[in-house]
């Protein structure tokens, strides 16, 4: 009987040692540090709070650090109807990636009011996939309700005035429209149009987004 008990005790000791050896790698794994996933920021994605990597509080110094001093230039441009001039900062000036920054504080360049782009091959796009050359027909489908905008052919032509309670009404991203044809003269002039009008409805595929902008002040149409 004593020999039998001694054998059981010995077997238990052996099994216990084997279990410790098997458990040790698992315990070591629990102490391993898992590296966080790398989040890649899309430089061309425009959201309600950012233009690529740029936010409302991005300073000029941070722009230079991000894009290089040679790609960040202050310029004076003509304002609407050239009544006055505006001091702005251009990023990638003279290229298809160019975008323009309007400051809340032109002297200090610490807070951004507006970012905009209107290049022919502009790569920027919104979270809805809206970009330059997106047709008014596509924009209307996304919005879900009629869209009101100013007639073409003058300094404020094509600016969207209202989304009339549609999906895009809550967005800070703004779009300006352009018409690919000037045959329909009823679309040109200093007055408001909307997509319910027969003349506009007939040209939905010929009217497209020409400008994207992101406002950091409350002026959502």
Distances (CA, A) of 92 to 64, 67, 69, 89, 176: 11, 8, 10, 10, 21
Q: What is the model's pLDDT at position 15?
A: 43
**Phi, psi values for residue 149, rounded to 5°:** -150, 165
- Would you place residue 77 in the very low, low, confident or very high pLDDT band (cuts 50, 70, 90)? confident
Residue 200 lies in a domain: yes
Domain count, the chain: 2
pLDDT per position as a tens digit, 147-169: 999 999 998 999 999 999 999 99
- Would you place residue 219 in the very low, low, confident or very high pLDDT band (cuts 50, 70, 90)? low
Domain ranges, residue 94: 45-117
Q: Out of 8-17, 166-175, 187-196, which region has the weakest mean confidence (pLDDT)?
A: 8-17
133: DSSP letter: T
52 and 107 belong to one structural domain: yes
Q: Out of 27-41, 65-79, 121-135, which region has the weakest mean confidence (pLDDT)?
A: 27-41
pTM given for the model = 0.74
82 and 137 belong to one structural domain: no
Q: Are residues 143 and 168 in contact, defined by beta-carbon separation less than 8 angstroms?
A: yes
Q: Out of 7-11, 70-74, 79-83, 209-213, which region has the weakest mean confidence (pLDDT)?
A: 7-11
109 and 135 belong to one structural domain: no
> Is the torsion defined by CA of 175, 171, 83, 151 positive or negative?
positive
Q: Out of 73-82, 116-125, 137-146, 170-179, which region has the weakest mean confidence (pLDDT)?
A: 73-82
Q: What is the model's pLDDT at position 139?
A: 96
206 and 162 belong to one structural domain: yes
């Amino acid at each position: 009987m004593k020999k039998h008990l001694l054998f059981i005790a010995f077997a238990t000791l052996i099994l216990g040692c084997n279990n410790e050896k098997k458990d040790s790698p698992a315990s070591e794994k629990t102490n391993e540090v898992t590296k966080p996933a790398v989040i890649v920021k899309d430089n061309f994605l425009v959201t309600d709070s950012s233009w690529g990597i740029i936010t409302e509080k991005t300073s000029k110094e941070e722009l230079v650090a991000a894009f290089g001093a040679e790609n960040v230039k202050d310029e004076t441009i003509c304002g609407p109807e050239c009544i006055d001039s505006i001091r702005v900062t251009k990023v990638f000036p003279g290229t298809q990636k160019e975008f323009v920054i309007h400051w809340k504080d032109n002297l200090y360049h610490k807070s951004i009011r507006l970012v905009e782009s209107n290049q022919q091959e502009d790569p920027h796009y919104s979270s809805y996939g809206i970009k330059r050359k997106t047709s008014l027909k596509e924009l209307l489908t996304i919005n879900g309700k009629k869209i009101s905008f100013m007639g073409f052919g003058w300094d404020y032509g094509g600016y969207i005035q209202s989304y009339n309670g549609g999906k895009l009404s809550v967005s800070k991203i703004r779009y300006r429209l352009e018409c690919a044809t000037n045959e329909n003269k009823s679309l040109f002039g200093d007055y408001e149009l909307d997509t319910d009008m027969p003349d506009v409805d007939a040209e939905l595929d010929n009217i497209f987004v020409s400008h994207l902008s992101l406002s950091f002040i409350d002026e959502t149409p």
